[in-house]
Amino acid sequence: MTDQRIRDSFANQGLMTTLGATLSHVAAGEVHISAPLQAATSQQHGAGHAGLTFALADTAAGYAALTLMEAGREVMTVEAKINLMAPAIGEVLIARGKVIRAGRRLTVVQAEVFAIKGDTETCIAILQGTMIPVDPA
Amino acid sequence: MTDQRIRDSFANQGLMTTLGATLSHVAAGEVHISAPLQAATSQQHGAGHAGLTFALADTAAGYAALTLMEAGREVMTVEAKINLMAPAIGEVLIARGKVIRAGRRLTVVQAEVFAIKGDTETCIAILQGTMIPVDPA
Amino acid sequence: MTDQRIRDSFANQGLMTTLGATLSHVAAGEVHISAPLQAATSQQHGAGHAGLTFALADTAAGYAALTLMEAGREVMTVEAKINLMAPAIGEVLIARGKVIRAGRRLTVVQAEVFAIKGDTETCIAILQGTMIPVDPA
Amino acid sequence: MTDQRIRDSFANQGLMTTLGATLSHVAAGEVHISAPLQAATSQQHGAGHAGLTFALADTAAGYAALTLMEAGREVMTVEAKINLMAPAIGEVLIARGKVIRAGRRLTVVQAEVFAIKGDTETCIAILQGTMIPVDPA
């Protein structure tokens, strides 16, 4: 799975465009995605919404899984669980997804999400989930 | 907790506005949130993104929890786990959140998310999570 | 999948015997398992251990999934998430597992665990998970 | 929280005795628990039961959380999610629990479980969960 295929797939995700997200790192078994913290993706107190945090973590973890799947496959989330540990406050969120175990039928993944405020990076969430290869539509 | 307080808080969630979401039902221990399935919130194949599904489910479940919390409190997600069972295909998603147990310190919640396509409603995801009351900022 | 096959498989689970568990109900998509609350399965304060609660819930949910799988298949837990809502206090725990969606590749399940004390039944835990068919060894 | 307090609490867990478990490492924010793989804790094919794997992971993670809580507090599991990645085959299971974030109200934890067979150690499960301090009964 080349970087380009991950980048092409990412570019087709309308939600990622809406969230202002960018693919900041793609390597075998590891993908990072960043997005600005802004009013358009906030919860009621102005911090980043849990839905934003989850979307970035899930997408980073899913593409990390895809890097290790056979060429021509696509990836879908079976399930994911996120613990939100601190409010998403700062300028930018970055989600770092990685593969824990790439099995024949399923891939187990984790992601961490960090809020960057000036020079400080705070881990605000961790995700653990399961990805599955699917045939392209 | 009156409906109005849930509605005011919801109106302040930038992400809900961005997703085109509306609060369609508020009762003690149960809240429903709907959003259109559209290109701006899609994944790479045009179905609704898992991040959209999660955002609606988490928000519906969180506000369901808030309906049973003391006046003046706000709610935050401690953690949530979602199983995605079918693609989010159709015109509208509706997330129905409810309280399973409202404890003194924590509230356990569930949500179901349905995709509506014409006259058909398909359950595409279930969420189980934990909410916590917080003091307003 | 006949009742007898579930019962035969259950009888081969050493842990279920060790926990004193019995299969109290088997129907298509739904299985119940009971076990006594006793010192041998307690946590440090004498209530039932979270490991007991999980074991019953996971097993009930897994066999519920197996009732809907093709003959000759076995079942394994992909992942499961449990919320513990109240201490496991009473005479007996009963876990009720059911299938939420039986897919071609994966089955999504839920379980509830109740503590029975005299005439009172308290829901102490809920589980949401994913089961997968496997070929017999 | 001294080692001795963790050890005293562990010794009072009937289930840990029943599973043959031992506390093999206690440090600030990290606890390891081992147990033999034996017929009494097996599933239907002779591998270790998911309930055993969960019990060890949850207990290791819970005690890891307790090492960082105030003296005199006890710990309870709010919720935990486990991904089972490989069968529990070998002589011994070892669960390594650690604290990811010790908050004022809640502690987020992770655990990994390894099956040891001869000289080989295989990661068979990962757990992510939430612990809460409680007052002693």
Q: What percent of chain C has pLDDT over 90?
A: 92
Q: Is the pTM of this model over 0.90?
A: yes
- Residue B108: CB partners within 8 Å, gap ≥ 6? B99, B100, B101, B128, B129, B130, B131, C83, C85, C126
Q: Taking 80 as the threshold, does the pLDDT of residue D4 lie above it? A: yes
CA–CA distances in Å: residue B66 to residues A83, B5, B110, D81: 19, 10, 13, 24
Instruction: Tell me if D52 sits within 8 A of D92, measured CB to CB.
Output: no
**Is D130 at the interface with chain B, CB within 8 A?**
yes
Q: Do A132 and C81 touch (CB under 8 A)?
A: no
**Is D106 at the interface with chain C, CB within 8 A?**
no
What pLDDT sits at residue A3? 86
Phi, psi at C40, each rounded to 5°: -70, -15
Q: Which of D89, D23, D118, D35 is nearest to D62 (CA)?
A: D23
What pLDDT sits at residue D2? 65
> Which token pair is D29?
């924010």
- Closest approach of chain B CAs to the CA of C125, in angstroms? 10
Q: Do B83 and C126 touch (CB under 8 A)?
A: no
**Is C67 at the interface with chain A, CB within 8 A?**
no
Q: Do C126 and B110 touch (CB under 8 A)?
A: yes
> How deeply is B25 buried, as exposed, middle or buried, from its count of CB atoms within 10 A (0-12, 13-18, 19+)?
middle
Q: Amino acid letter at D70?
A: E
Instruction: Tell me if C35 sits within 8 A of C21, measured CB to CB.
Output: yes
CB count within 10 Å of CB B71 equals: 7
- Of the pLDDT bands very low, low, confident and very high (cuts 50, 70, 90), residue C2 is low
What pLDDT sits at residue D7? 94
- Of the pLDDT bands very low, low, confident and very high (cuts 50, 70, 90), residue B136 is confident
Contact list, C84 vs chain D (CB under 8 Å): 76-79
Contact list, C103 vs chain B (CB under 8 Å): 85
Among partner residues A79, A105, A132, which is closest to C79 by beta-carbon distance? A79
CB count within 10 Å of CB A8 equals: 11
Nearest-angstrom CA–CA distance, A85 and A30: 22
> Which token pair is B47?
């179905």
Q: Taking 60 as the threshold, does the pLDDT of residue A1 lie above it? A: no
- Residue D104: CB partners within 8 Å, gap ≥ 6? none
CB count within 10 Å of CB A33 equals: 30
- Closest approach of chain C CAs to the CA of A119, in angstroms? 36
Nearest-angstrom CA–CA distance, A68 and A103: 10
> Which token pair is C86?
């109240």
What does the pLDDT look like over A4-54, one tens digit per residue? 989 999 999 999 999 999 999 999 999 999 999 999 999 999 999 999 999
What does the pLDDT look like over B40-84, one tens digit per residue? 999 999 999 999 999 999 999 999 999 999 988 999 999 999 999
Nearest-angstrom CA–CA distance, D110 and D101: 10
Q: Amino acid letter at B37?
A: L
Nearest-angstrom CA–CA distance, D123 and D95: 10
Q: Are strands A22-27 and C107-117 parallel, antiparallel or unpaired?
A: unpaired
Among partner residues B86, B126, B128, which is closest to C83 by beta-carbon distance? B128
What pLDDT sits at residue D3? 86
Residue in this structure with the two tokens 């559209």, named with its chain if needed: B38
Bridge partner residues of B13 (DSSP)? none
Residue in this structure with the two tokens 């919860």, named with its chain if needed: A43
Phi, psi at D54, each rounded to 5°: -65, -45
What does the pLDDT look like over A98-117, one tens digit per residue? 999 999 999 999 999 999 99
- Of the pLDDT bands very low, low, confident and very high (cuts 50, 70, 90), residue C99 is very high
Among partner residues D10, D12, D58, which is closest to C51 by beta-carbon distance? D58
Q: Which of C105, C88, C108 is nearest to C97 (CA)?
A: C108
> Which token pair is C128?
């949401």
Nearest-angstrom CA–CA distance, A120 and A115: 8
What does the pLDDT look like over D22-40, one tens digit per residue? 999 999 999 999 999 999 9
Domain that holds residue A95: 3-134
Among partner residues A78, A81, A105, which is closest to C81 by beta-carbon distance? A81
- Of the pLDDT bands very low, low, confident and very high (cuts 50, 70, 90), residue C3 is confident
Instruction: Tell me if D88 sits within 8 A of D37, measured CB to CB.
Output: yes
* Length, in residues, of chain A: 137
The chain-wide mean pLDDT, for chain C, equals: 96
- Give me the number of domains chain B comprises: 1
Q: Taking 80 as the threshold, does the pLDDT of residue A85 lie above it? A: yes
CA–CA distances in Å: residue C18 to residues C21, C26, C33, C87, D55: 8, 21, 14, 21, 14
Instruction: Tell me if D67 sits within 8 A of D26, measured CB to CB.
Output: yes
What pLDDT sits at residue B22? 98
Nearest-angstrom CA–CA distance, B66 and B75: 6
Which residues in B73-103 are b (16+ Cβ under 10 Å) and which e?
ebbbbbbbbbbbbebbebebbbbbbbbbbbe
Q: Do B130 and C86 touch (CB under 8 A)?
A: no
Residue of A106, A128, A132 for testing the chain D interface, max D β-carbons within 10 Å:
A128
Nearest-angstrom CA–CA distance, D124 and D126: 7
Contact list, A106 vs chain C (CB under 8 Å): 78, 132
- Residue C50: CB partners within 8 Å, gap ≥ 6? C43, C82, C84, D54, D55, D58, D59, D62, D77, D80
- Of the pLDDT bands very low, low, confident and very high (cuts 50, 70, 90), residue A136 is confident
Q: Taking 60 as the threshold, does the pLDDT of residue A137 lie above it? A: yes
Question: Mean pLDDT over residues C82-107, rounded?
Answer: 97
> Which token pair is C121?
């039944």
**Is A78 at the interface with chain D, CB within 8 A?**
no
* CATH code, domain with A7: 3.10.129.10
Q: Taking 90 as the threshold, does the pLDDT of residue A76 lie above it? A: yes
Quick check: helix, strand or coil at residue B118? coil
Q: Taking 60 as the threshold, does the pLDDT of residue A83 lie above it? A: yes
Instruction: Tell me if C33 sits within 8 A of C94, measured CB to CB.
Output: yes
Q: Taking 80 as the threshold, does the pLDDT of residue C41 lie above it? A: yes
- Residue D66: CB partners within 8 Å, gap ≥ 6? D1, D5, D6, D9, D73, D74, D75, D131
Q: Amino acid letter at B90?
A: G
Nearest-angstrom CA–CA distance, B60 and B46: 24
